[in-house]
Each structure stands twice: as structure tokens, then as C-alpha cells.
A and B are shown apart, each in its own frame.
Chain A
Amino acid sequence: GIQVEQSPPDLILQEGANSTLRCNFSDSVNNLQWFHQNPWGQLINLFYIPSGTKQNGRLSATTVATERYSLLYISSSQTTDSGVYFCAVYPRAGGTSYGKLTFGQGTILTVHP
């Protein structure tokens, strides 16, 4: 099946710093989502972005589907940005994985005041 790799696995920042999280995938995808899991376990939708660039406040995301990667940018980080960031994809190929969201292992972000 498709492989989804996220980097870095861990990231520690001071408040106010900027960061870039990366998601590589091994095969073509129909769609891609970025999530933030807060310390209480809630998964929050950040972006639904099969291609192109989207922005939402301090966060933006870019997916280059032809090169099989996506980037999540966090600017002026705040302590509330701490948590785990997941990338998840819908594989394009048919078969048993069609229509099923496949998650990467996540990036653990810690923002210190």
C-alpha cells in the first residue's frame, strides 16, 4: 500500500518562530488532509488540499501532487500550536485501499513560551 512519511518526527520551537512540516507519499493520491491533534486527543481539520496552496491565518499548506509531497507552514508559532500534526492521504490507485484515509506517523510539535 501507499507509504506516507512525515518529517521531522519531533520539533521544538520558541514562541514566535516559524516552521515547515513535510509529508511525502509514495504513490499518486486523490486527496490530502492535514490535521492537528491537540493534547486532549481531538483531531482538528487544518487543510483539505489535493493540490495547490491554501492559507488560513498563520497556517498555510502547499501540495505538489506531481512530486508527491505536501508542506505545512506555521508562522509566528504560539504555545497553543503544540500537539501532533498528521498528514493523511486517499490513495489514487484502486483496490482495497481505495477511499480509505492513510495516515503518516505525525510530527510532534512543542512550542515553548
Chain B
Amino acid sequence: SAVISQKPSRDICQRGTSLTIQCQVDSQVTMMFWYRQQPGQSLTLIATANQGSEATYESGFVIDKFPISRPNLTFSTLTVSNMSPEDSSIYLCSVGSGILNEQFFGPGTRLTVL
């Protein structure tokens, strides 16, 4: 399976600021996704990161709040914009070799907003 890294691993931020999270994979992958896990909750899909085009967002998530880039088949970024304490969560990227294939997750970024 692919080796996935995320930066930063954790951060504490002030409300109103923005944080960009990076996801790097050691091999080219077809599918890349971003998830949010709020405290004590399950994982919720934010968006599918599409290489060379705009991300596909799930209901309840918008590009202005969570802009995503995917410049190539091994790298993606998620920005959490204009943060509030409600954005405190673990953010995880995942990858898959095909649309229905097994997904593998990065180690996550633990974000606390004060």
C-alpha cells in the first residue's frame, strides 16, 4: 500500500486565521479524498480532490471555506479558512487506486481552534 504523510500533524490556531494541510503520497494514485472527524464522531467526507480541476464537494462543505488543490497525482492540500472553534477536528486525507478500490488513510492533522 502507498505511504501517506500529512503536515502538520497537529496545530493550535486562533479564530479567524487559516491553515493549509498537506497530503503527500509516495506513488501516483487515482483518487484522493479529504475527511473531517469532529471530536467523538465518525468520519465525514469533505470532498474528492481532482487532479488538475476543481474539487468535488459534499453537501454542507463549500469551496470558500475548504479550498482544495491537487496539482499532481501524489500531492494535495486542504485549507481551512476563517477558522472558528467548531472547526476543531482531525482532518484526514485518503487515497485509492480506483473509484471503488480500497482506501488508505494518512495519519491525520489534529486541529484545535481557540
Contact = CB atoms under 8 A, between A and B. Distances in A.
Interface of A: 30-31, 33, 35, 40-43, 45, 48, 86, 88, 90, 98-101, 103-106
**Which 4 A-B pairs have CB atoms at the shortest separation, nearest pair first?**
A43-B105, A99-B99, A48-B102, A41-B108
B86 to A, nearest CB: 19
Interface residues of B, number: 23
Contacts of A43: 43, 92, 105, 108
A45 B1 contact: yes
A2 to B, nearest CB: 13
Contacts of B92: 43
Interface string B73-113: 00000000000000000101010000111111101101000
B103 A41 contact: no
Contacts of A86: 42-43
B107 A31 contact: no
Nearest to A45: B104
B100 A33 contact: no
15 contacts: A30-B100, A31-B100, A40-B107, A41-B37, A41-B110, A42-B107, A43-B43, A45-B104, A88-B103, A99-B100, A101-B33, A101-B94, A103-B42, A105-B41, A105-B42
Interface in B30-75: 33, 37, 41-45, 48, 58
Contacts of A104: 42
A78 to B, nearest CB: 22
A33 B103 contact: yes
